[in-house]
Amino acid sequence: MSDQGSYYQRDRGWHPPAYTPDYKTSVLRAPRYPLLSLDNTISETTGPVFGHSMLGPLDNDLIRNYAKDGDAIGQRIVVYGRVLDENARPVPGALLEVWQANAGGRYRHKKETYLAAIDPNFGGCGRAITDSEGRYSFRTIKPGAYPWPNGVNDWRPAHIHFSVFGHAFAQRLITQMYFEGDPMIWQCPIVRTIPDKAAIEQLVAALDREAALPMDALAYKFDIVLRGRRSTLFENRPEGN
Ligand SMILES: [Fe+2]
């Protein structure tokens, strides 16, 4: 068994159940058989890692990193925070990858069908690596809400997808960040699969007026806690705390 299991009590009531019929695609995705636990092998925990030199100077600037003819359109924001472990110690050298819709709520993806316009200057993805204090930041535009085929009129709240890589490719956690004060958060069928209100609130970035860049960008603060009592809820780690 993995040693994580011996240190942290699993709390399956904290993570959304796999089968949540109000989120329609969960019906076919939900496993029909009991889950099996597989231990990591040496190659998964030690083998290939990303190189820190791979990041380009604009990788954490989504306003410019795909721009052809001026900045991306939308409300300019900075998203920043820290990656922390269960004892609130910073996690340096973690690779964060983010992806999001544009200001109109449209993804730049060939299978995207939403009628909102593509912004030719916005790609919608970026990367950052945490520094020695576990800090990261990136600049972007605030994504729009978008409708999705679930119920007759369901919308995703504005959100940014996050992937966090540790020191091996098998150490990957995925979550979504929402924006403080957005009433759409509490109406979203995906968010509503999370049974614990505190777990939802940990996914909501706080508007930080102190960190705003005057005459430029508002700032949102989003700390990511990898495990423990204050752990961020991750989509791909169903064991909870
Ligand atoms: Fe999304």
Give CA–CA dist 112/237, Å, rounded.
Answer: 27
> C-alpha angle with apex 201: 193 to 139, nearest 5 degrees?
110
Residue 241 clears pLDDT 60, i.e. is over it? no
Catalytic machinery residues:
107, 146, 156, 159, 161
DSSP code for 5: H
* Residue 239 confidence (pLDDT) above 70: no
What spacing in Å lies between the alpha carbon of 145 and ligand 1's midpoint?
Answer: 9
3-state secondary structure of 78: strand
Q: What is the pLDDT of residues 54-90, one digit of tens each?
A: 889 999 999 999 999 999 999 999 999 999 998 899 9
pLDDT tens digits, residue range 91-102? 999 999 999 999
Residues 142 and 75: their CA atoms lie apart, in Å, by 5
Q: How far is the CA of 137 from the centre of ligand 1 (A)?
A: 20
Distance 3 CA to ligand 1 centre (A): 33
Question: Exposed/middle/buried for 238, CB within 10 Å: 0-12, 13-18, 19+?
Answer: middle
Does position 6 have pLDDT exceeding 90, yes or no?
Answer: no
pTM summary value: 0.89
In which band, very low, low, confident or very high, does the pLDDT at 36 lie, cut at 50, 70 and 90?
confident
In the chain, how long is the greatest CA-to-CA distance? 55
pLDDT score, position 150: 95
Ligand 1 centre from 2 Cα, in Å?
A: 31
Q: Is the pLDDT of residue 5 over 70?
A: no
Task: List the domains of the chain with CATH numbers.
Answer: 3-44+56-225 (2.60.130.10)
Q: How far is the CA of 106 from the centre of ligand 1 (A)?
A: 9
Using a pLDDT cut of 90, give the percent of the chain over it. Answer: 68
What is the pLDDT, as a whole number, of residue 228? Answer: 79
Classify 210 as helix, strand or coil: helix
Residue 197 phi/psi, 5-degree rounding, is -60, -35
Hey, what are 14's tokens?
A: 């904290």
Ligand 1 mean position, distance from CA 172 (Å): 18
Ligand 1 centre distance from Cα of residue 99 (Å): 8
Q: Which amino acid is at 156?
A: R
Residue 145 contacts residue 156 (beta carbons within 8 Å):
yes
The rounded mean pLDDT for the chain is 89
CA distance linking residue 65 with residue 72, whole number of Å: 9
Tell whether the torsion through CA atoms of 166, 13, 150 and 181 is positive or negative.
negative
Does pLDDT of 51 surpass 50? yes
**Measured distance between the N- and C-terminal CA atoms of the chain, rounded to whole angstroms:** 17
| Alpha carbon distance 5, 8 (integer Å) | 6
- The residue behind tokens 């990136």 is 138
